[in-house]
Chains A and B, each alone.
Chain A
Amino acid sequence: SQTIHQWPATLVQPVGSPLSLECTVEGTSNPNLYWYRQAAGRGLQLLFYSVGIGQISSEVPQNLSASRPQDRQFILSSKKLLLSDSGFYLCAWSEAGHTQAFFGQGTRLTVV
Chain B
Amino acid sequence: KQEVTQIPAALSVPEGENLVLNCSFTDSAIYNLQWFRQDPGKGLTSLLLIQSSQREQTSGRLNASLDKSSGRSTLYIAASQPGDSATYLCAVRNGGSQGNLIFGKGTKLSVKP
Q: A46–B105 contact, CB under 8 A?
A: no
A41, A43, A88, A101: the one within 8 Å of B104 (CB): A43
- A residues less than 8 Å from B36 (CB atoms): 103
> With the chains together, A101 CA to B47 CA distance in Å?
11
> With the chains together, A32 CA to B99 CA distance in Å?
11
What is the distance, in angstroms, from B89's C-beta to the closest C-beta of chain A?
Answer: 7
Q: Chain B residues in contact with chain A, CB under 8 A?
A: 4, 31-32, 34, 36, 41-46, 49, 51, 89, 91, 93, 97-98, 100-101, 103-106
A97, A100, A106: the one within 8 Å of B43 (CB): A106
What is the distance, in angstroms, from B4's C-beta to the closest C-beta of chain A?
Answer: 7
Is A74 in the interface zone, CB < 8 Å from B?
no
Number of interchain pairs (Cβ within 8 Å): 55
Q: Mark each residue of chain A from 3 to 15: 1 if its CB lies under 8 Å from any CB of chain B, else 0.
A: 0001000000000
A32, A88, A101: the one within 8 Å of B98 (CB): A32
> With the chains together, A103 CA to B45 CA distance in Å?
7
Q: B34–A104 contact, CB under 8 A?
A: no
Q: B46–A99 contact, CB under 8 A?
A: no
- A residues less than 8 Å from B44 (CB atoms): 90, 92, 103
B4, B42, B49, B103: the one within 8 Å of A100 (CB): B49
Q: B43–A90 contact, CB under 8 A?
A: yes
- B residues less than 8 Å from A105 (CB atoms): 42-43
> With the chains together, A44 CA to B91 CA distance in Å?
9
Given contacts A44-B89, A90-B43, A90-B44, contact A99 B105 (CB under 8 A): no
